[in-house]
Each structure stands twice: as structure tokens, then as C-alpha cells.
Amino acid sequence: MTDAVFHETAAAPRTQAVPLAHLSLELGHLYMEDFEAGPGRLRRHFAEVRPWAEAARAAATARAAATARTGAQRARISTCFLVDDYFTRFSSPAEVVPMLLAEADRAGLTVDYLARESGCAVFGEVPVAEAVAGRIVESPPPSSHGIRPPAAQTGWLANGERSPAVRAPQAMKRAQVWRPPKETAARRHSVFLDTELFSDGPDGRTWSCPFLAAVWQLARLGLLRHQGEAVLSPRPHGDGGFPDDWDDLPPLLRLNPDADPFTAYRTCSVLPNRFLPVEHAVRVILDQTEVDPGALGQVAVRARGERAELPDSVADRVSYVFYAGP
Amino acid sequence: MLVFAASDKGGTGRSVTSANLAYQRALTGDHVAYVDFDFGSPTAAAVFDVPGALRGTEEPGLHSYLEGEAPEPARIDVWRQTEHPQLRTRPNQSGRLVLFPGDAGGGEFATGADALERCVDLLLRIDNEFDVTLVDLSAGRSYAVDMVLAATAHPRMRYVPCRWLVFHRWTRQHVIAASGLVHTDHGILRGGVERGHDEETLRASIRFVRAAVPDPESPLWAQGSPAQAAWMQACDEALRRLAAEHRIGDSVVLGIVPLEPILQWREQLITEEDVLSTQIANKETLEALEEIARRLTDDAHWGQP
Amino acid sequence: MRPPETGPPTALLCGEIRTCLLPARQALDIRSAAQFLALRADERVLLSERPTLYARSPDTLTGVDCPLPAADGARVRAVGTVAAHAVLTEGRVLQTSARFRAPASGPDQRRPWGQYLIRPGTVEPLGKLPREPVARGVLDGGRQGDLDVGLIADALLTRLLRHPLLDQRPPMRSRPTRLRWAALPAPSGAGPSLERFTLAEDELRTVRLRVPEDTPADEIAGLCADLALHDWLLTTVVRTFDGIRLGTGADRDGSSVLRALGPAVDHLLHLWMPRARVTPALARLWDPLEERPGFTRQWDALVHRIRDQLALQAIGPARREVEPAP
């Protein structure tokens, strides 16, 4: 009814667009144990990351050049780093951030954007994690005609069918025998994964590390919206130093004023291989998350416009390099 | 309004009588639902002569629904699906009469929190649609009784009027058992309070129905000897005293159903035809059923005695 | 705006709508309606105040992998998502609507789940879709285990009916109705048409349509919701006369007439507004129904009858004097 004279704004949905780089390159996560291990740990980490980061840049540049209309197109690449302030609070931004930046610089790496993990749970007033949890659409195992309880009821998400729960049968009926779990997309044998999305305690809900990591990926892919508005938008960092309290640090900070956009068509994360199980779970979550269709459409239109190659499936836009190390 | 039909023992005529009450209410124009929560023996279909659902239903019934395997329980439109010759022609101005049967071969089962929520969903939906809903509960302190006690104490059901009928036969054992079902430690009242009911309100919503009561004045016994008659009279007196001592005396009785061969031998609905033309049922029985059906919603018969 | 729909053209669109009275003593105002229908934390409830108060929830998706119902008994497995949403009209009538579109054919194997999620509300057959038998199968109802969109609409209804905003005190007794619909492509160049509107069992209605291929699924669902709403209003108001025996003298003080008709006047009579939210191209499909049986004609007659009854009650005593003794 676009030809009508009468309009009501509340009745017309709209989606805010975000700028897009070709690649969002993640240079690492920092947890309390990494910090406690001292600057040597970070130094070794960045030294490991350096060659892989260069390889990822080269791959992205080659991809952009291959599809560019005329001549060599520069690949827009931004880097980011995630600090955990959600599961454990340690030290202060004033102490951690300068050290982090110094170690990255020593390895010849630039951190364009710095994010706090708690920003993936709640960003300002926006309950980001809760919203993403509400967008999970469980992959139906064969013969699902739509009456399975949604994942939100149980707080777990699997990549297939769980073993049936042992329940007291009706009187005089035989109890069911045990059946193995089954991965829905299994090739002959299952690699079944069941991941906890959150746990509820007296202080409220705690989102799991894999779940927040999935939110982090969606943020970097530019696919998060809150009522049509972009969320996890970066704030510029002024000339001043860093605050003493994590809460006073913007959840997503642009450290490099000349950086390419934070959000990108694809992501690559360079991580030590202890993150492998977490990132497997991230893939299981992303594969079952219906992202905002408006945002998805905008990214697709932009990608077509500059002939950037974009996988349909969101989980396939994410890539990793796992290096051997703690 | 929801009416729960309970009994401590089997063989009280609970199912057949409550089915007859449902039928009587429908005749007066109410839309009536009959919900078969007699999980161990889902046979209400037999009373309504609905052959497709004679031993429960092949479609997912209440068992499947409450266990979460079916999103909606099957419904049977009695007027349309019955084989009872006189029910086939739905009387003019009668209301709907719908049976919610159990599963074929369903048994008693332990109910959890999910089943409770689904039970509340179901009772609310049925109550929104029907004027009177009769819920037939498994005998004794069953899972069914437990579940509806918890369901009716649920905040979502706070405005739904509920009444309880406890059926018992007119014998010493049955009187004591019926009182026990309501008044002992694990009875409906205690159990209800534990689940959040207000004791006085719950007590005020419970009435008793004496079933299969031989009437000493009835012509049925006119052939007996004077000694027999005197003995019956004395027994009846003694039972009344016993009932009163057990707090189920006349003041909390909603009605008395006389001993009726066709209810005893062939559980079925009693129609006017059975009384007037074929005369296989007694007029008194039909009148008793009509009266109890009427009293279900007559506030004068409910509340604190 | 929704993103441009990608993928193969639609060969069949189907859905089911459940319509019921909101079980609450007072109708919900527009703000409560927004709260009630907030199915997703990150998506707005669409609100509109002209010409009726109208609130529409965001879509929720349910994954399915099961056979499609087919009238000829063919077993066509299909995988994808069914989209469902809820609508509240004048804070009083609640509708849940589930729908899907299906392309003429799909790959022979199930694809990774993430690829289905980028086309919400699409169910893909494995192999070819027998369009006509499936359309008939949907309208007639399938076998146990076949895709049944009605179940999905009902599950959403159940979820909403548990909302704490509802006091579960409906002003009158009423029955929910179900309206199943199937839309097949119109011959090229032809406009949309309503092939059949059937009153099936007590609560079931079926609608068969032809629509041009590019007609958006939510517009068709919107038309069907409009039909379902008005059919429910007619059904419900007709039934308010059920329990009252007019002119018998049994109702000496007229209280049963007031009890039965009063709530209809308070809560339903102002809701009649066919085509209010139907796109102009589809609004024409109302015409044959207005011609025969004449929905609005029957409604007007009912409204007059109710007003006459209430007017008679108002002058009750005088009337009773001229009534012959029973």
C-alpha cells in the first residue's frame, strides 16, 4: 500500500544500514588467565598471530581483486580485539589497554577496534544476547512437523537429536531403551554437540562463552539490529587515556581513526586452539540463528553492488586460524 | 464452570453419572464438555456410545496431549458421532456436547511441570468455549486428582469457577472412603491447600453425590418382608449417622441417585425415551439426574453449609 | 521493507489462521498490545491506529522436516521454516497465522540448515512439488506426521495465551475458528481470484486462491486474516443467540437476553470493517463474498436484530402486558 496518502510511522518497519569492510580480522581474546600470565603471554600470542594475520589479509585482498570491476580494488580490512570483562573482572583499562596495544605494536600489528565482552550481552540499554537467543530456530531432525519445544525453554542447543530423556512411562508401559544422540547433518557417523546457551542463577542469567562468541561474530558481520537500529556501533577514542573502570570504557572503541569499518562481509579469527570447542559451538549456534532479514538483505545488496563474493549461509562467512598454543 | 468428578473407589458410578449430568446440561441448551481424566481406564466413549473411541481414541487423546506428544487432544462431537439411536437426532435448542477422550490403551502416568502447564492451557481453553465442563478423574488419590488440584490453584485459573463432586455408594465402606478422600491428611482439602488453595473456598466447592442408593420406599422392594423393610430402614438411618460423623452428611450432599439397573449393568445415558416409552429406566433416576444437573450451577446448593 | 526475495519463484503458498476472543475482561490498549505481542526482543511490534487499532507481532520461525500433505497420497519430504505471527485487532480479537511458500522443486538432499534460514517462511520439497495435490492436501488436512501449519499457529496461540497480561476472564463464551488457505499461481497476466471459500466442519473454513506469482506471502496471509476475522465475527455473533429463547416468556425480566447480547455489543459490534488492512489488489477478492452469501448483509441484519432485542428489553414491561399468558 505504498501509493496511499496516509502513513503511520509505527506501522512501517525499517532497517538502518551499516558500513561494511571486506574482512573483520580478529587478533585475539584476552581472558584473566592470559593477563595473569604476564606480558610475555601476549607477546608470544601476537608473534604467533602475525603471519596468519598477514595471510588472511593477502587472501582477502586477492578475493577483492578477483571480483573487482576495474583494476585492483583495495580490500577494506579492519582488525579487532576482544577483552573479557563479563565472566571475570580483572585489572583496569588504564593498565591493560596500553600494554595490549604496546605488545601488538611490537609484533607489527594494529588493533583498530577494541571490544568488551559484556557489550555482547547487553550493549547500553539493548539486551543483545537475549535478542539473538530469541532468533534461534532449531534445525529440525527428520520427521519434525513443528511441535518440538523451542531451545529457549531448555537453554541448550544441539546440532541434532538428543538421546531421549528417561521419563517415568505410563503405568504398565515399558520404559524406552537408550538411544544414541544423532547429528542431523551427519555423514554416516555423528559428531554430536550440545551447547549450553546460558545458565540461570540467583543473580540472573549468565550467557555462555560460546553464545557470546556467536553474538560477537554476528556483530562483526553487521547483522545485529535492535528494532531496526544498528547495535554495537563503535565509538571513537579521543586523545585521552583509558579509564580505571571497565564500565567507563565504551563497549566498542575505535582506536584507529583511519580504520576501515568494524563490520564486514566476512570474519577471520586467529586464536589458540583451546578455543576450538567454543568455536565449534559458535558454528552450531550461527547455523541455527535466523538473523534480521532486513540486515541480511542490505548486506547482500551491497555485496552484489561491489561484486564481493558472499556465502548465503551466515555460518559460512566466518573463518578461523587456530595455532598451537595455550 | 469446571466440575471435577472424583471418587475414592471404583464402581461408584462416577463416570456414568457425570456423563449423564453432562448430557442433561446439554439438553437444557448449555454447551458442555466432558473431559476424560480417568487415565487408567479411559472409557467414557462407551457411555456416550461413540464407537470410534470405544477404548479411548486412536487419534492422540488427552494422554498424548498432556505428555506433550500432541498439540491438541482429539474431540468427539457426541451428537454427531454417537450410535445411540436417540442421541443421533440432536434435540432442538440443545447445546453442544463434546467428549475429550483419553488415548486408546493409555495408562496412569506421573505428571510433571510441563503437563501441568498444558493442563491449565486445556482447562482454560475449554472453559472459554463451554458453559459447563465435567472432568472425570481417576479414582482415589490419583495423579489426575493431583494435577487438577495444582492446575486449579494456578494463578492463570484464579477466576475460573470450579466445583467438585465426590461420588460414593451408600455403604459403610464407601462413606468412610469418600470422607477420607476429602478430609484425611492426603485428601483433596489438605492436598489442595498444599498446592495453594484456600481451604475454606475449596471446602465450600465440594459436594457429595450418593450413588446407587436403594430407596426403601421404592416399589422395587415392595415385595420384601416387613423384617427386611425394617432392616433397610435401620441401615439407612445408621448410614446417615455415619455420614454425618464423617462430615459428609446431608448438608453437603448435592443429590442422590437411586439404585438403577441400567446404570449398574450397562453404563449408558438415560434418555426420556428410556423412561417413557421403553420404560427400562426409572422415572426417579431421570429426575434425580435432572435435578443434580440443575444444581451444578445453582449457588443455593453451594458454599459453606 | 522486506529484502527482495531470493531463490526460485513460488509455486504454492499455504497457511492457517486461528481466530479467537482475547481471554481478558478489558480489551488491551495499544501499549499493552505492543507488550503482549513482543515475541522478539529486537523486533518492533507493528502498531496502527487507523482505521482500527491493530497490532502485529514480529514473525517467529519453526523448522520442519517432514512430508507435505498430499491429496493423492504422494509422500513428498520437505524441509524449511514456517513463519508465524500474531495479530490483535482492537485489543480484542487475537489471531495467529502460520504460513509457508514452496518452490516448484528443490535439491534431492537436505541442505545445511543455515541455508534454509536465509529464506524465512520457505519450505522446499526434496525433488518436485506436486502443486495441486499438495494444495488440496493442505486444505483437507494431512495424515499424522505430515506438515500441519495449523499446529504451528496453535502453538503460537498457546504461547500467547499464557501471557500474564491476560486475566483469563473473557467477557463471553466463544469458539476459536480455523481458516486454512492455499494460493496457487494465477495464469500469467491474470489478476488474483478467490476460487472457493468453504465452511467445512464447525470451526474449519478453507480458502483457495489464485494469485500472480510475485504477490508477497504476508499480503495473502493478510487478506486471509481479514476473511478469518470477519467470518469469526459472524459465527460468534450468530451464536450469541444460541442459549436464549426469544419471545417465550421464560425470560421474564429479559436478563438472559441482556447477558447474552450485552457483551457482543460491548466488544464485537464495532469490529466489522472488511478490507481495512488488505492491499488494493487483493481487496477485490472480497467482492464475490459480499455478493453471495453477503457477509456484510448478514452482519447488518444481525446488528439490527441485536439492537431491536435490546430496544424491546428497554420497553419491556409494556410489552409483557400485551403478551398472552403462557
The residue-averaged pLDDT of B103-125 equals 88
The residue-averaged pLDDT of C45-74 equals 93
pLDDT at B130 > cutoff 90: yes
Determine contact, residues B162/B4, Cβ cutoff 8 Å. Answer: yes
Tracing cell 475429550 back to the chain, one arrives at B100
CA distance linking residue C122 with residue C129, whole number of Å: 13
CA distance linking residue C51 with residue C57, whole number of Å: 18
**Is A169 within 8 Å of B71 when comparing Cβ atoms?**
no
Q: State the pLDDT at residue C161.
A: 97
Q: Which of A89, A182, A109 is nearest to A139 (CA)?
A: A182
Fold assignment, B2-297:
Rossmann fold (3.40.50)
CA distance linking residue C64 with residue C121, whole number of Å: 11
Q: State the pLDDT at residue B159.
A: 95
Determine contact, residues A95/A43, Cβ cutoff 8 Å. Answer: no
Q: State the pLDDT at residue B278.
A: 82
Interface check for C161 against chain B (CB to CB < 8 A): the answer is yes
Number of residues that make up chain A: 326
ipTM of the complex model: 0.90
Shortest Cα distance, chain B CAs vs residue A171, angstroms: 5
Q: State the pLDDT at residue B36.
A: 94
In 10 A of CB B95, how many CB atoms?
A: 21
CA distances from C306 to A66, A85, A108, C254, C272 (A): 74, 66, 83, 13, 15
Q: State the pLDDT at residue B217.
A: 73
Stronger pLDDT, C132 or C257, i.e. the higher one: C132
State the DSSP string of A115-168.
EETHHHH-BTTB-HHHHHHTTB-PPPPTTB-S-SPPGGGTTEEESEEPPPPP-P
pLDDT at C249 > cutoff 80: no
Give percent of chain C above pLDDT 70.
Answer: 91
pLDDT confidence tier of residue B268, bands split at 50, 70 and 90? confident
Give percent of chain B above pLDDT 90.
Answer: 60
pLDDT confidence tier of residue C57, bands split at 50, 70 and 90? very high
pLDDT at C2 > cutoff 50: no
The x, y and z cell numbers of residue B142, run together, are 490419583
Q: Which residues pair with A269 in a beta bridge?
A: A26, A320
Q: Which of A17, A54, A78 is nearest to A253 (CA)?
A: A78
Q: State the pLDDT at residue C243.
A: 64
pLDDT in tens, B163-179: 999 999 999 999 999 99
**Is A11 within 8 Å of C46 when comparing Cβ atoms?**
yes
Number of residues that make up chain B: 305
The x, y and z cell numbers of residue A85, run together, are 570483562
Q: Which residues of C touch A149 (CB under 8 A)?
A: none
Q: Where are the alpha helices (DSSP H) in chain A?
A: 32-36, 39-67, 93-106, 118-121, 128-133, 209-220, 276-286, 293-305
Determine contact, residues A53/A297, Cβ cutoff 8 Å. Answer: no
CA distance linking residue B305 with residue C208, whole number of Å: 59
Q: What are the residue boundaries of the structural domains of chain B, listed by start?
A: 2-297
Where chain A has pLDDT below 50, the residues are 1-2, 150, 152
Q: Which residues of A touch B107 (CB under 8 A)?
A: 170-173
Stronger pLDDT, B275 or C127, i.e. the higher one: C127
**Contacts A–B by Cβ distance under 8 A:** 18
The x, y and z cell numbers of residue A119, run together, are 557489550
CA distance linking residue A73 with residue B233, whole number of Å: 108
Interface check for C50 against chain A (CB to CB < 8 A): the answer is yes
Which of C35, C43, C123, C144 to mutate against chain A (most A CBs within 10 Å)?
C43
Q: What are the residue boundaries of the structural domains of chain A, listed by start?
A: 17-134+198-323
Q: What are the residue boundaries of the structural domains of chain C, listed by start?
A: 10-214, 236-318
Q: State the pLDDT at residue B5.
A: 97
The x, y and z cell numbers of residue B239, run together, are 448410614
Q: Which residues pair with B211 in a beta bridge?
A: B169
The residue-averaged pLDDT of C285-299 equals 93
Determine contact, residues A162/A315, Cβ cutoff 8 Å. Answer: no
In 10 A of CB A59, how many CB atoms?
A: 15
pLDDT confidence tier of residue C3, bands split at 50, 70 and 90? very low
CA distance linking residue B297 with residue B3, whole number of Å: 10
Q: Kindly give the interhelix angle for A93-106 and A39-67, rounded to the nearest 10 degrees.
A: 60
pLDDT confidence tier of residue B153, bands split at 50, 70 and 90? very high
CA distances from B9 to A74, A197, B167, B243, C215 (A): 85, 48, 9, 16, 62
Q: State the pLDDT at residue C195.
A: 94
Stronger pLDDT, B230 or A46, i.e. the higher one: A46
Handedness of CA B275, B279, B281, B287 (dihedral sign): positive
Q: Which residues of B touch A173 (CB under 8 A)?
A: 107
pLDDT confidence tier of residue B305, bands split at 50, 70 and 90? confident
The residue-averaged pLDDT of B187-199 equals 95
Stronger pLDDT, C115 or C6, i.e. the higher one: C115
The x, y and z cell numbers of residue A307, run together, are 561484486
Determine contact, residues B76/B52, Cβ cutoff 8 Å. Answer: yes
Q: Global pTM? A: 0.92
pLDDT in tens, A155-180: 899 999 888 766 666 666 666 678 89
- Continuous segment of H or E residues that includes residue B71: none
- Enumerate neighbours of C (3 or more CB pairs within 8 A): A, B
pLDDT at C119 > cutoff 90: yes
The residue-averaged pLDDT of B5-16 equals 90
